[in-house]
Amino acid sequence: MSLNSQMFHIVINGCKNVHIQGVKIIAAGDSPNTDGIHVQLSTDVEILKTSIKTGDDCISIGPGTKNLWVEQVTCGPGHGISIGSLAKDLKEDGVQNVTMKRTTFSNTQNGLRIKSWARPSTGFVEGVRFTDSVMRNVQNPIVIDQNYCPRNENCPGQVSGVKIKDIIYTDIRGTSSTPVAIKFDCSTKNPCTGIKLQNVNLTYLKKAAQSFCSNVVGKAVDLVRPDSCL
């Protein structure tokens, strides 16, 4: 157990062949920068059967992460599971081959999120599989945000150079606490490509939710609710 860390609880940085299982992470929902597990510049990492309650991202995935497997993780409170923030630096390694299975989000700010600063970068995200997730009262269940620019500092008027492709969401279900349950807000210069939604069922207040798409190319297969804008 990791309890009330002053900053990130666990950081996997520059590692290979890491196995995390049966970990419990707890911090107050309003505690800043208390990310549960942060992974960056690492290859072949597994995070299994872990419970994370925190004030920031439950799991955050930084540049240079390759072959990451996350399964049976519960998240909440917290900001969800995030790939990013990316594009902090102009020269940045990509994120590739990430699998998330059997995850549960309860009263979180986000569910499955990919985010990059709105500025130039050599970074990329590709080969991501989000499978079998349950959302319970999540503000942004599915979100790609390439226009991340808090307080409008260091990025106004710029666009993200991060290339996002081959991202598949399968069997994602539950409830959104806001009307827009699926949001793909991609880069005008580098649109998201190969985005696929399959068997997604997200509702808002027991009625239909909404989707938002900007600069994204992809397809919806089988049942997808809210109605896809891909």
**pLDDT at 121 (0 to 100):** 96
**pLDDT at 156 (0 to 100):** 74
Residue pLDDT, tens place only, 182-200: 999 999 999 999 999 999 9
> What CA–CA distance (Å, rounded) separates 19 from 10?
13
DSSP 8-state secondary structure symbol assigned to residue 102: E
Strands (E), the chain: 2-3, 10-13, 16-21, 24-26, 37-40, 43-53, 59-61, 66-75, 81-86, 95-106, 110-117, 124-138, 140-148, 163-176, 180-185, 192-204, 207-208, 210-214, 216-225
Residue pLDDT, tens place only, 117-154: 999 999 999 999 999 999 999 999 999 999 998 878 77
Taking 50 as the pLDDT cut, the residues of the chain under it are none
> What CA–CA distance (Å, rounded) separates 121 from 189?
12
On average, the pLDDT of the chain sits at: 97
**pLDDT at 106 (0 to 100):** 98
- Is it true that the peptide bond before 32 is cis, omega within 30 degrees of 0? no
Query: What residues are labeled active site?
Result: 56, 79
| pTM for the full predicted model | 0.97
